[in-house]
Amino acid sequence: MVKVLHFRSSSLVDSESLKKICTFLKKNPKNIKYVIIISAFYHITDDLIKCGKLASKKKKDYKKILKLIEYKHINIINELFNLKKKSCLISNLKKNINKLENICDGIFQVEKLSIFSLENLISFGVLNSSYLIAEKIKEFDLKVKFKDSRKLILTDYESGCSKIDLKKSYYNLINFFKKEKSQYIIFPGIIAFSSEITPLERGGADYIAGIVASSLKADLLEICTNVNGIMTANPKLVSQAYTIRNISSEEAMELSHFGAKIISPTTIQPVIEKNIPIKIKSLFEKKETYIERINFFKKKPKPVTGISGIKQISLITLEGSGMVGFLIPGFSKRLFKKLSEEKINVIFITQSSSEYSIAVGIHEKDVLKAKLVIDNEFYIEISNKKIKPLSIERDLCIIALVGEKMKNMHGTSGKIFSALGKNRINIRAIAQGSTEKNISVVINKTDFKKAINILHEEFFEKKNKQINLFLIGLGKVGSNLLDQIYKQKNYLKKEFKLKLRVIGLANSKKMIFKKDGIDIKKYKYYLDKMSYEMDLKKFMEIMYEINFRNSLFVDNTANINIAMIYENFLKKGIGVITCNKIACSSTYDYYKKLKELSINFNAPFLFETNVGASLPVISTLNDLINSGDKIYKIEAVLSGSLNFIFNKFLEKKNFFEVVKEAQNSGYTEPDPRIDLSGIDVMRKILILARECGSNLELENIYKKNFLPEECLNSTSIDHFYNLLKKYNNYFNEIREKTVKKGKKLRFIAKYENGNAYVGLQSIKVDHPFFNLEGKDNMVLYNTQRYSEQPLIIKGAGAGAEVTASGVLSDIIKASKS
């Protein structure tokens, strides 16, 4: 049995990882032959490149970097080897460091870092790391052969790119392995030898491992790295990504083509042609991915195996009436031939069904070159107006969903478009591979991370839907809401598969954001120690920059400035949940605009708590109307605070004391004048009227004042309370008249025949409002279906706790939509 192992730089992080590699090799059976490809120690390559760059800029700091490289290697030698071996290895190291210094001195003199000088520098790291590992394995009395791969794997250098001469390389490798009988053969990676030393592209060491495995017809190619195999998405972008246990070679190549850097298609191709499986594993964790020509292990096939993407792309489009019909093949051939000649990699191709245009996705760095050569190629056609000059769209990205089962499962495309559309992500172009193993979409690059998370959630995370909340207002309602979210989090996960995360929080003075979610129990600490100064414009900008999927903005304030920015969120596809009545009770045009934006941008706009705290007043009204019922009359006690005040007042307390008690209990607005002036009730009945289809404005509502004019014109809250004391006899007189007649005081709102009214009334004992206790609200809907007896909604209509529960209910509704 023959295994080819490649230890990438990312797995060679320190002496401990080297010990782990050596121990792993020591324990393996003697009937297995190992060919081991070694890359440079982690970070050493970066240090060597830095040396060359500093030297080319005439900066003598490169000598300090060389000393650092020497120090790192000596530390590794000291930890791995005994005293006798150390002196020999350190002596050899110092000779190589001197050679490095000579190369850097030469770069310093000519002030130029050529590609060949750079390769000579990089080769030091690879040669030295592989040599040390070979020497360490020898200490276990194992038969080890160190072989410089430059003598076996040959390259040619064409137009700035190195290309391995496969015919000669295979010949050399086959002949070498026929003669070599050692159980362990160590090759340095990413180095090749021809008439000149030439650099291989990124992933070259993997490619060398693939070529070696192919030439040997190995039983397995194993690549050891620091990541847990191939994952469903980039874990740096998607925290919920997990390891794909088994994947077909075609799926792996598709993912790699569209940005998955874990393995390159050039590595896969020579190995899979010989039916050699590939295993990608973490040296540090027991997670791995098997790549085979056909995936035999998928017991429960999903349509999508993995998601990958490329962020920096541009879309170039060739279009014009002259391209229609039989001429199109000629245009296509010339377009792609020119791009190929200029070494411009085509990532993505799509063509309109009318054949009027061809759109091609390329890397942003190639855009200007593509524009120049394509316009020059089609100069005559452009001059004759047969086609237009090449158009360019920048700042785009491409996301690919890959899976062998997509072609056999209906609705995959629909899920993709629906999920992105719900989150207001515009798709610029779409393509599906001829093998139907991938669907690719081009979108704005600012939506890159958001889109990948949305699609990963759609296809891989059916257990929980993550909802990202941005809250403003941390008074009594806001703090109660956070407490309820914390208490209900496990229930919401279990029953509704919802995971609520608070990403942004703000009060009137401070704001804080945490992309991985704010610990609700510690939000006061975070606001105190880790916050910014509150700035509404900045709050919005940070929200847009974070750009999370399934985002909701929650307004727990009574602030007019916040109410007037709802449209900005809705246009971005961000849902708005609010207990702030100002937006829906401002001008009819603004109310209508918000409702239309919610529909057009598929962003929920819910404001149930605007009218009855947690009572289902608005939702019930909408259900009646949507089911075809007609609303004849609405009669309601809509202020829990005023009902509390007048119930308490009838207990023969002073009026100003009762108002103060209501404010301290959180039943009134922070400014009780809003409640007592009737403006709060006016806003509520206005919202209900508008939900019925009326275009009423606030000034159209008739209000009968019960407060003296001087109280209405008070200059401050303290002044208002002093005036309530002054008019104590006036309020006592109202109470005495009401009690004498056996009635009760209720502040009532009414909507009928397109007109609305609010005012204080004395209610008889047979009226439904008579026995309304405490802070309860009651709404009577007289409709076509409920004509004999009205539909009654009754319950607590004031208080921070019930209002917060209403806001949470709206959050849950929006999350399930």
Query: In the structure encoding, which two tokens stand for residue 754, read together?
Result: 């397109």
Of 283, 296, 301, which is closest to residue 249 (Cα–Cα)?
296
Of 563, 570, 685, 703, which is closest to residue 621 (Cα–Cα)?
685
Of 33, 5, 34, which is closest to residue 189 (Cα–Cα)?
5
Helices of type H across 111-155: 115-138
Residue 639 belongs to what H/E stretch? Answer: none
Which single residue is written with the structure tokens 């005439």?
A: 58
* Exposed e or buried b per residue across 778-801, where buried means at least 16 C-beta atoms within 10 angstroms of its C-beta: bbbbbbeebeeebeebbbbbbbbb
How far apart are alpha carbons 717 and 436 in whole angstroms? 69
Helices of type H across 628-716: 640-649, 655-664, 673-676, 679-691, 709-712
Other beta carbons less than 10 A from residue 657's beta carbon: 15
Which single residue is written with the structure tokens 């909340």?
A: 469
Q: Please give the C-alpha separations between residue 772 and each of 32, 97, 331, 454, 636, in angstroms, as whole numbers.
A: 86, 91, 80, 48, 11
What single letter denotes the amino acid at residue 449? Answer: K
Helices of type H across 28-61: 44-56
Q: Please give the C-alpha separations between residue 751 and each of 210, 677, 754, 789, 790, in angstroms, as whole numbers.
A: 79, 19, 7, 17, 14
Helices of type H across 148-219: 166-179, 204-216
Angle (CA) 497 502 504, round 5°: 150
SS3 content of the chain, % helix, strand, coil (to 5): 45, 20, 30
Contact 35, 212 (CB under 8 A): yes
Catalytic residue of the set 684, 744, 750, 775: 684
In three-state secondary structure terms, 579 is coil
Contact 399, 440 (CB under 8 A): yes
Other beta carbons less than 10 A from residue 170's beta carbon: 18
How far apart are alpha carbons 322 and 233 in whole angstroms? 42
Sheet with 791-796, edge to edge strand ranges:
702-704, 755-763, 744-752, 631-637, 776-783, 791-796
Q: Which residues, 6+ apart, have CB-to-CB distance to 368 below 8 Å?
A: none
Residues in a beta bridge with 595? none
Sheet with 346-351, edge to edge strand ranges:
346-351, 357-363, 306-319, 391-402, 438-444, 429-432
The yes-or-no answer on residue 538 being catalytic is no
Is residue 369 exposed (0-12), middle (13-18) or buried (19+ Cβ within 10 Å)?
A: middle
Contact 719, 727 (CB under 8 A): no
Angle (CA) 631 582 567, round 5°: 95
Contact 34, 40 (CB under 8 A): no
How far apart are alpha carbons 358 and 369 in whole angstroms? 18
Contact 415, 408 (CB under 8 A): no
What single letter denotes the amino acid at residue 163? Answer: K
Active site residues: 684
